[in-house]
Chain A
Amino acid sequence: KNQVEQSPQSLIILEGKNCTLQCNYTVSPFSNLRWYKQDTGRGPVSLTIMTFSENTKSNGRYTATLDADTKQSSLHITASQLSDSASYICVVTRNTGNQFYFGTGTSLTVIP
């Protein structure tokens, strides 16, 4: 069964600290994996898109990694800021029929 699981479900960290969010998937055949940031009351915003051949991709303080062998991805946030408080959603695209599979997201709260 094609699934995407994210952990933790929620996370609270102090401003300035680093954190890592996890995404494990069973989707096959794999096309790409996306990380989105969604602020409360707004639409998701794309952070990174990685294909099979990409192991890491950065977008400012956000760094995503992908291990296609173990079907795991992580999103690392460096030197967190209050504005990083949001929900982070992992989405995996299946190569056959371009189907999308969504994780339920990790809710991150950064406190001063």
Chain B
Amino acid sequence: DAGVIQSPRHEVTEMGQEVTLRCKPISGHDYLFWYRQTMMRGLELLIYFNNNVPIDDSGMPEDRFSAKMPNASFSTLKIQPSEPRDSAVYFCASSLAGVNNEQFFGPGTRLTVL
């Protein structure tokens, strides 16, 4: 298996633009997590899905952030409009049944908002 796949790996955009990050979880995993990591705040959980259904989105910072999982093999995290403070590395992770199981992380998307 190729592991968790994220795209793009790097994204540079201007303030106010829409940004869409993509994730393909490991085949067969039914939990998918979106994280954000910055130097100041460390790693933060934004939202997670179980069987394509959002379970906990309490970590989503504000309405500018939205996440979808239209099927078991694809998820998106969208920021609209983007702001400089959104600059961070965004990770997607997936796991087998049970939120207590090992999570496998993707390589991350480094987002820079100018």
Interface residues of A (CB under 8 A from B): 31-32, 42-46, 49, 51, 89, 91, 93, 97-100, 102-105
Contacts and interface: CB of A to CB of B under 8 A. Distances in A.
A105 B56 CA distance: 24
Given A42-B107, A45-B105, A51-B100, A98 B56 contact: yes
Contacts of B108: 42-43
A92 to B, nearest CB: 12
B113 interface: no
A100 B55 CA distance: 13
Contacts of B106: 43
26 contacts: A31-B100, A32-B100, A42-B108, A43-B4, A43-B91, A43-B105, A43-B106, A43-B108, A44-B91, A44-B105, A45-B105, A46-B104, A49-B100, A49-B101, A89-B42, A89-B43, A91-B43, A93-B99, A93-B100, A97-B56, A98-B100, A99-B58, A100-B45, A102-B42, A102-B45, A103-B42
A38 to B, nearest CB: 8
Interface string B45-89: 100000000011010000000000000000000000000000000
Contacts of A98: 55-56, 99-100
A106 to B, nearest CB: 12
The listed residue with most B CB atoms (<10 A of its CB), out of A89, A93, A98, is A98
Contacts of A89: 42-43
Nearest to B99: A98
* Among all A-B residue pairs, the 6 with the closest Cβ atoms: A43-B105, A104-B42, A98-B99, A46-B102, A102-B43, A100-B45
Given A43-B105, A105-B42, 16 more contacts: A32-B100, A42-B107, A42-B108, A43-B4, A43-B107, A44-B43, A46-B102, A46-B103, A46-B104, A49-B101, A93-B99, A97-B56, A98-B100, A102-B44, A102-B45, A105-B43
